[in-house]
Amino acid sequence: MPVAVITGASAGLGRALAGALVRREWTVLGTARGEAALRATAEELGFTAVPGDVTDPAHRAALAEAAGPRLDLLVNNASTLGVSPLPPLADYPLEALEAVYRTNVFAPLALTRTLLPALKTANGILVDISSDAAVEPYEGWGAYGSAKAALDHATAVLGVENPELAVYAVDPGDLRTAMHQLAFPGEDISDRPLPETAVPAFLRLFDERPPSGRYRAADLAAAVRS
């Protein structure tokens, strides 16, 4: 039975991916900072909850111990938007900016390094969740977007350095999530698709293992429909 670690698994895209893999009879280890929400989600969907903060080295070590010597899939999904409402980059509080980079860049890179031996044993798959803000200069998105751009490049380098793995940065598109709502406080985002709509694109990626690189879920989903 293949094994996956998914960060940010208590809600949004992480929850949707965890549920889809459980239905495929994967062993899924899900992590998130909110213990109560994570355990409730894990009980509902049928995965193993490993609560904690991925910025904490001790928690990353606990995840590695729970995963064991062989890991088929790591999805670095946990991230933070940062300050809400979104301020101009020149006015962004530096402590908050550091926190965005710590969560969105350093934590996934550190967790990948910790789990890399297990991924290599399985010739596994690494997925780092990206954003269109990593490539488009949207006003107010300087902190989050630049952090995701840094993660994109780190992901690309990991792909080159580890050719035995399938290494992907994936832009899931705008989804109806709590974090996306924080980006637009007080606005109605019900026109955004639910996270579950992006799942088929990820499953195609896992099944077909195209060359390592950056992919958009919309493009993968379009290929599935055609």
131: CATH: 3.40.50.720
Q: Is 110 in contact with 162 (CB distance < 8 Å)?
A: no
| Secondary structure of residue 217 in the 3-state scheme | helix
Q: What is the pLDDT of residues 189-202, one digit of tens each?
A: 677 778 888 899 99
Question: CB neighbours of 158 closer than 8 A, spacing ≥ 6?
Answer: 112, 126, 165, 167
Confidence category of residue 69, pLDDT binned at 50, 70, 90: very high
User: Is residue 221 a contact partner of residue 206, using CB atoms and an 8 Å limit?
Assistant: no
Distance CA(133)–CA(86), nearest Å, equals: 13
Higher pLDDT, 165 or 181: 165
Residue 223: band (very low, low, confident or very high) from pLDDT cuts 50, 70, 90: low
> What is the count of structural domains for the chain?
1
Averaged pLDDT, 49-59: 98
Q: What is the pTM of this model?
A: 0.94
> How large a percentage of the chain has pLDDT more than 90?
83
Active-site entry in 92, 101, 138, 144: 144
Q: At how many degrees (to 10) do helices 94-101 and 142-161 cross?
A: 30
Q: Mean pLDDT of all residues in the chain?
A: 93
Q: Please, what's the b/e burial string for 158-187 (b: 16 or more CB within 10 A of its CB; e: otherwise)?
A: bbeebeebbbbbbbbbebbbebebebeeee
Report residue 8 CA to chain centroid gap. 7
Average pLDDT rounded to a whole number, residues 123-137: 96
> Is the Cβ–Cβ distance between 145 and 104 less than 8 Å?
no
Tell me: pLDDT of 178 over 90. no
Mean pLDDT of 124-145: 95
95-117, pLDDT tens digit by residue?
999 999 999 999 999 999 999 99
pLDDT, mean of residues 123-129: 98
How many residues does this entry show for the chain? 226
Model confidence at 43: pLDDT above 60: yes
On the question of pLDDT at 120 being above 70, the answer is: yes
pLDDT above 90 (res 70) = yes
Instruction: Let me know if 144 is a catalytic residue.
Output: yes
Contacts of 201 (CB under 8 A, 6+ apart): 170, 172, 215, 217, 218, 219, 220, 221, 224
Q: Residue 104 is part of which domain span? A: 3-225
Confidence of residue 225 (pLDDT cuts 50, 70, 90): low
Contact assessment for residue 147 and residue 104, using Cβ atoms and an 8 Å cutoff: yes
